Amino acid sequence: MPVFAYRGLSTEGRSVSGVVDADSPRTARGKLRASGIFPTDLAEELAAQPRTAREWVPFRQRGMSSSDLSLLTRQLAALLGAGVQLVDALGALSDQASRAAVKRMLSQVRERVREGSSLADALAAHPNVFSDLYIGMVRAGEQAAALEAVLDRLAEYSERQSEFVSKVRSALTYPVIMMCVGAAIMTFLVTYVVPQVATIFEQQHAALPVATQILIATSAFLTGYWIWILIFLIGTVAGIMFGFSTPRGRRLYDTVMLRAPYIGQTMVRIICARFARTLATLLAAGVQLLPALDAVKGVVTNGLLRSAIEKSREEIRQGHGMGHTLSQSGLFPPLLIEMIRVGERSGELERMLERVADNYEREVEHSLNQVTTILEPMMTLMMAAVIVFMMLAVLMPIFQLNQIMQ
């Protein structure tokens, strides 16, 4: 059905804007007048807008950030808690939205809710913004008549996830920047500076030290075959990505990552923290264990761990405990298994999952801080060693020429 963007006046004389679904402009105007809005401007929105330059950038996140989504969720929960009707709350959020895309999305959600759709179904029309986990929790909140409480938990969950991801990114930012800057400096020296110095040495017909010969040969190889090197690198990356896109390649990648020293342990802690936090949030929202486990698979990025959770669902359906079924896979750490068992016996599974999530998040943060503390001086020393080698390779022949001339 076509979507029409409108501007108009409400019965109180207040300026309003938004979107409305209708078969034709005439039907759209009729729907607006029936809802107490007198349109002054009405235009159909095209289904496919021309892309801007930013939208062509690969791997660009097209939805809302976690912080913006948590703020939006918190505001909606506050409005509902203050007694504002859902349609009016969505309208208020749409009016105060600063980004045109967010305003349009909220207007479309409000229009669907006004037509009788549930909030979960209205949100499901925007999968680039709201995940299946988000929609499932909203649906559970509507069914249990506890939408405000569920939205509060969703906001808290989004805030925790955003904070956790920010800590991981900040811990890895400095090493990555150091690597990129070091690689750029080395490339400039080898491909531009060294060839000019090599020309001077060749004109003098002087015997060059081994270090200088190695540096000149490396520079000549990179400058002479850079196209083939680039093609080889692109082909290698494309081949690896294609291999990982296949089920067998993805399984091999997941297995290697889990068994890799240090990286595997850190990855398991990160995944277990997200798994425990998400499952606790779903259980607190009133979602049953089996549907919660089905929804929580979306936050488990490792295929082996995801398969273990799917197998656990089937065994839980047959009457086994979750702690017992997860322990049989041998992939989950003992702390998570024991905390789940304690939670199942005591009836406080949600609380135990929250504790284990807090524990793993602290461990990951501490571990990443240790790695960055070690990496920073190591990378500095490596860059210094390379620079010293290049300086000696360039300066030693100069000193020899100076002695000959004297």
Which residue in the block uniquely carries the two structure tokens 């294609």? 242
Q: Kindly state whether residue 183 falls inside one of the protein's structural domains.
A: no
Which residue segment(s) compose the domain that 302 sits in?
Answer: 263-363
Collapsing DSSP states into helix, strand and coil, what is residue 192? Answer: helix
Which residue in the block uniquely carries the two structure tokens 């999952």? 353
Of residues 64 and 71, the one with the higher pLDDT is 71
CA of residue 95 relative to chain centroid, distance? 28
In whole angstroms, give the CA distance from residue 57 to residue 128: 16
Q: Kindly state whether residue 272 falls inside one of the protein's structural domains.
A: yes
- pLDDT, residue 232, reads 92
- pLDDT, residue 270, reads 83
Comparing 6-10, 73-77, 196-200, 382-386, which segment has the lowest mean pLDDT?
Answer: 196-200
User: pLDDT, tens digit, for every residue of 212-267?
Assistant: 788 778 778 877 888 898 899 999 989 888 887 788 888 888 888 888 887 788 88
**CB-side neighbour CA atoms (13 Å) of 138:** 18
Q: Kindly state whether residue 193 falls inside one of the protein's structural domains.
A: no
Q: What is the DSSP letter of 191?
A: I
Of residues 224 and 55, the one with the higher pLDDT is 224
Token digits for 312?
């656990």
Say if residue 21's pLDDT is above 70: no
- pLDDT, residue 394, reads 72
Tally: H helices and E strands in the chain: 17, 3
Say if residue 18's pLDDT is above 50: yes
Number of domains present in the structure of the chain: 2
Say if residue 123's pLDDT is above 80: yes
For the chain, the distance separating the N- and C-terminal CA atoms, rounded to the nearest angstrom, is: 89
CB < 8 Å & 24+ apart, contacts of 117-123:
118/142, 119/86, 119/147
CA dihedral 295, 299, 303, 309 (to 10 degrees): -40
Q: Kindly state whether residue 278 falls inside one of the protein's structural domains.
A: yes
pLDDT tier at 315 (50, 70, 90 boundaries)? confident
What's the whole-number mean pLDDT along residues 276-281?
Answer: 81
Comparing 10-24, 79-93, 147-161, which segment has the lowest mean pLDDT?
Answer: 10-24
CATH number at residue 325: 1.20.81.30
Which residues, listed in sequence order, are joined to residue 45 by a DSSP beta bridge?
3
Q: Kindly state whether residue 44 falls inside one of the protein's structural domains.
A: yes
**pTM for the full model?**
0.60
Q: Kindly state whether residue 8 falls inside one of the protein's structural domains.
A: yes
- pLDDT, residue 54, reads 39
Helix H or strand E segment including 149: helix 147-188
